[in-house]
Amino acid sequence: MSTSGDTSKADRWTRLEHLFAEARTLTGQEREALLARELHGDTELEAELRSLLRADEGAGRFVDALREEMLDPELDGLLARAPGEMAGDPWIGRRVLRYLIEDHMGGGGMGVVYRARDMTLGRSVALKFIAPEISRDADVKRRFLREARTASSLDHPNICTIHEVAEDEEGRLFIAMSAYEGETLRDRLARGSFLESEARSIMAQCAAALSAAHDKGIVHRDVKPGNVFLTDAGAVKLLDFGLARTVGAPLTDPAAVKGTIHYMSPEQARGEPADERSDVWSAGVILFEMLSGERPFAALSPLVTVRHILTLELDVRARLPEASDGMVGVVERALSKDPAGRFANGSALLHALGTAG
């Protein structure tokens, strides 16, 4: 039986949904007039509504940007192909500076990855060619190179080693990284959840990597299963600091939404700057997913997913019935919607994982 409190909460959410549906079609003075007319000084409801409206705008920009990256004709459709469908790829066998390209490894919104041979040092590497729109804007290109080279200074056993950040003869940006044998956490999660001990070990190594980055003022900003690599040797490597930004560096577009929607922190979803605590949130989402086999805020559309991230109060104990109390506490704190309630950085998360029973 529903309590009066439950009914009141449901009625409030219904009202919020109706107001949101109307307000998102308006702009400027018309929107402000609607809010003044309908909210009657309800500051809490106004804050929730404005947060959803900001997220709606941010999610739209994110989806549009992702679509542009994935459909960019200069990538010749490579991003949409699986590695096994690369027969006849003209890049195979091609030499780029001192690297001989041997095979296609994968791709995503940020670019295409090939396995290559460093002909000077005689080692296998992964070459990530960055999506061409990065190169078109000189300021964006300079910032990317600066941030990628800052990330390349990270030296930690749980961080993928970056050997070089450079341009080829035709001005294409690429990153030369260590190549590992194994699979991404995303691929492993497709086969189901983990035992708590396994999830703890993987996340502890991720937290150690984040701790090393955060200690140098570097925020990853795109922590997700596709950027966590599980090597055949049993090590965990955090990949792709291509979206990393030194803490405090100004944003070209403060409202730009970066990262991947399911793993975005609430502040990222609102288009606000991300700091170390945003990485902690993303790590918390991954930890929940490893324990349950499900994403905690998943929905049928990007907008509803963002709304869940911003407003859905997660009952972690109910969703993780087999997890220890200590692990539930770690997940709950990592997924605090208020950044002040989260672990401050990777080091604090690592310590909590070590003491959770």
Q: Which residues pair with 246 in a beta bridge?
A: 218
DSSP-assigned letter for residue 161: P
- Output the furthest CA–CA distance in the chain (Å, rounded): 73
Instruction: Give the helix/strand (H/E) hosting 215.
Output: helix 196-215
Catalytic option among 56, 222, 275, 279: 222
Beta-bridge mates of residue 112: 107, 129
Indicate the burial class of 1 (C-beta count within 10 angstroms; 0-12, 13-18, 19 or more).
exposed
Cβ contacts of residue 25 below 8 Å, gap of 6+?
none
Task: Kindly compute the dihedral angle of the four CA atoms of residues 347, 350, 355, 357, in this order, to the nearest 10 degrees.
Answer: 150
Measure the CA angle with vertex 285, ends 174 and 206; round to 5°. Answer: 55
CB of 78 within 8 A of CB of 128?
no
Place of tokens 């997660």: 314
Specify whether the CB–CB gap between 346 and 158 falls below 8 A.
no
d(CA 280, CA 283): 5
Single-letter amino acid code for the residue at 77: G
Token pair belonging to 262: 């399911």
222 flagged as catalytic: yes
How many helices (H) and strands (E) the chain has is answered by 13, 11
Q: Which residues are catalytic?
A: 222
